[in-house]
Chains A and B, each alone.
Chain A
Amino acid sequence: MKAVLQARDVEKKFGAVVAAANINIDIFAGERVSLIGSNGAGKTTFVNMITGYLKPDQGQILLDGHDITPLYPRAITHLGVARSFQIPQVYGELNVLENMLVANACHDQRLSFWQPARRRQAIERADALLDRFALTEHRARRVAELPGGIRKLLDIAMALTSSPKLLLLDEPTSGVSAEEKFPMMETIMAGLGQDQSTTVLFVEHDMDIVSRYASRVVAFYSGRIIADDKPEVALATDDVRRYVTGELLSE
């Protein structure tokens, strides 16, 4: 099976801080990979290097075999990578449907000076995605007035508009109350569907969610990967228990 995403000997430093060291990983199509680690461990840096927002000091990142290391976010998006944000980056002044239409327009390689943004085909595509994420009832509402959980779902739905090969979710359940976390994750997973064509990486702090929804866990600490395995295995390793979940006190 060919890897969708590969990182080879990736290194990144910010001054004296090691954000990434010796990162080597292969991620395969259809996987649901959870990135865990405490704050500053290197998960977000890793995500940012994949999207092209940051450039590694050394090493390579490959998408479907293509070296995407030197590319910028826009180019990488067009190659099939999409991300959602911890704080939803949505257009408050527009309504939910219009947000989806923006995503549709941005993804469209053949932008037009006259083709209406609100044409039937684009709206149908947008509505289909909104339906998958249970957002249809909010379709005509101005996004600035909607609660955080809805905006997060919209953020993810927008990212999915481009039918990406690789979807990066940055803390999809953060900012949502404890009772809402699981239902939200259910909605997200339902929205993503089971098809193999989209591989998902999600950064997550809640270990219950991780064990329930991830097919694979990659744990970070001090810029290094300290565990990379099925959830039951990874979450039981000493290093993870010491440096991530806090179950073992570090000496």
Chain B
Amino acid sequence: MANQLGTTVSSIATPVRYTVMWALGICIALSLAGMVMPKWLTFLITMAAANGLVSLGIMVLMRGGVVPFGQGMVFAIGGYAAALLSNKLGIKDALLLTLCGGVIAALIAAPFAPLLSRYRGIFFAMLTLALSMVTYGLLMKLEVLGGSDGFNMGRPTLFGQKLPDESVGYIMYVLTISVSTLMALLARIYFDSTRGLITVAAKENELRVEYLGGSVRQAMAINFILAAFCGGLGGSLAVMALGHIEPNFSFWTTSGEFVFVAILAGWQSVIALFVASTVLEVVRSFSSSYFPNTWQMSLGIFLLIVIRFLPRGIGSLWVKGGGK
């Protein structure tokens, strides 16, 4: 939070209404732009936003000083929940499915929250990794869920309306952008809140927080559940955009990509998060056509450069004292 002069900017927080206006503006601008974008671009941004939500969950946890390596678990749970509700229970409304994905992921993660809130560092990372691989193993073996192939999901509806072929892509795009902007806004508000400040303090000195009367474990547990909710939202939006779900959503390399985006973005700017997610999607999309054997390498090198030279992520390039 320091600018070059070594002092910090501290003002009364940007009033919430400005942030809301920004969020609304961005949402509308992107939605309008979507009308003139080629289909592949709206799809790309849809996936970037859905994946960005999962990384947003990682950001919530990183602000408290822990890095989860198992967000794939909640991503998969959200996706499978949405797909199953749609295929088996006939719940088709896209907005409802999105919400259900988030809530169900949060509910399943909740019992683990008190346990995980006690761990830090490598052990936190490994435990979340282990849980996501258990989920992966289960999903691979359960034939009722399609086993290793997964299964397809039917097309969702929105507010009772069937979505016609020409516009389903655009409508999912607008839905995903809207949900992402809303979550980004809520995240910003949470980060600037008293609970958000305690999280940041806990990252630096847990003992002092306890001595001042704050509960670090409660903060960590809550962050874990919030991250699960974000991950679940991302999962259900992703499965609706893709039309297909498979156990790979929970594999550790998937979790690794979400962490990659979070590290790239840094933990200060929410916008940087979605920018980083878009960068990843762009690289991923173009890679198969142009550089199939070197795109992972490029990501790796990029990550090293960021870790070495921009330890606070690309967000630190423009964040000075606050801001979205």
Chain A residues with CB under 8 Å of chain B are 51, 73-74, 77-78, 82-83, 89-95, 97-98, 101-108, 111-120, 123, 139-142, 145, 158-159, 161-162
Contact = CB atoms under 8 A, between A and B. Distances in A.
B89 interface: no
Nearest to A141: B7
A160 to B, nearest CB: 11
Nearest to B201: A102
Contacts of B195: 105, 111-113
Contacts of B204: 91-94
A91 B16 contact: no
B6 A106 contact: no
A94 B200 contact: yes
A183 to B, nearest CB: 25
B192 A117 contact: yes
Contact of B193 (A51, A104, A112, A145): A112
Nearest to B194: A105
Interface residues of B, number: 33
A162 B193 contact: no
Contacts of A142: 1-2, 6-8
A162 B212 contact: yes
Contacts of B205: 89-91
A101 B12 CA distance: 12
A78 B196 CA distance: 20
Contacts of A158: 212
A123 B212 CA distance: 17
Nearest to A95: B8
Most chain-B CB neighbours within 10 Å: which of A78, A83, A118? A118
Nearest to B212: A106
Contacts of B6: 141-142, 145
A78 B213 contact: yes
A101 B11 CA distance: 12
A18 to B, nearest CB: 26
25 contacts: A74-B214, A77-B212, A83-B211, A89-B205, A94-B204, A95-B8, A102-B198, A102-B209, A105-B194, A112-B195, A113-B190, A116-B192, A116-B193, A117-B13, A118-B192, A119-B13, A120-B12, A140-B8, A140-B10, A141-B6, A141-B7, A142-B6, A142-B7, A142-B8, A158-B212
A104 B201 CA distance: 12
Contact of B212 (A92, A93, A102, A141): A102
Contact of B207 (A89, A107, A119, A141): A89
Contacts of B8: 94-95, 98, 140-142
A106 B201 contact: yes
B44 interface: no
B213 A162 contact: yes
Contacts of A92: 204
